[in-house]
Amino acid sequence: MTRIVVFASGSGSNFQKIKESIDNNQINGKIVLLISNNPNCGAVKFSELNNIDFKIINDYRYNEKKNNQYELVLEKYRPNLILLAGFMKKIPHNIIRIYKNKIMNIHPSLLPKYGGKGYYGMNVHKSVVQNRERITGATVHFVDDNYDKGPIIIQEKVGVDSSDSPDIVSEKVLKIEHKIYSKAIKAFCLNKITIDKDSVIINE
């Protein structure tokens, strides 16, 4: 069984959906820990209600002490997979190095479009509407040292109507996020993901 650690800063809707998929035996894994920088967020409350351990790491300075704190906590919980679910902090290099190709993120656009620093949440959907895009979507990718640049695992598109507000686009994309994140996690837990240089293959 895959030991999973989730990183989240907000409501944790993807976190909750992943837990639901595990409970329904769709994913052969167990969430052993939540790491958050926000002690008052919905993800932490969800952890408390579901008896999932959580750890708050909330130091706004990018320093070795904080980076080592991440490392020590993860060593204790021994994850096979780390999932970012709306985590608003950059993952330190030492964690990316130790858990290479074992950290996934879900992003609310069709990367590489609308990716990078500053493109998150409603910022992405507002840009999609402002630029009159007719297609958007979501992307699951492995995490490297650059924002939203790691190898893409899976993407799915959704149409954008000319009358859609950013809120409506957000709702459409969130449905896709829940679907493809669970699909990617399931494939990882079944050892069906292989990486050839920067290309990811899901073996059906």
Active-site annotation, residues: 107
The Cα 45–Cα 114 span in angstroms is 30
CA-to-CA dists, residue 185 to 14, 86, 141, 142, angstroms: 12, 16, 11, 11
What spatial distance separates the first Cα and last Cα of the chain, rounded to whole Å? 19
- Tell me the C-alpha distance between 108 and 155, whole Å: 10
Angle, in degrees to the nearest 10, between helices 13-23 and 166-189: 40
CA of residue 191 relative to chain centroid, distance: 19
**Strands lying side by side in the sheet with 135-142:** 54-56, 29-36, 2-7, 81-84, 103-107, 135-142, 152-159
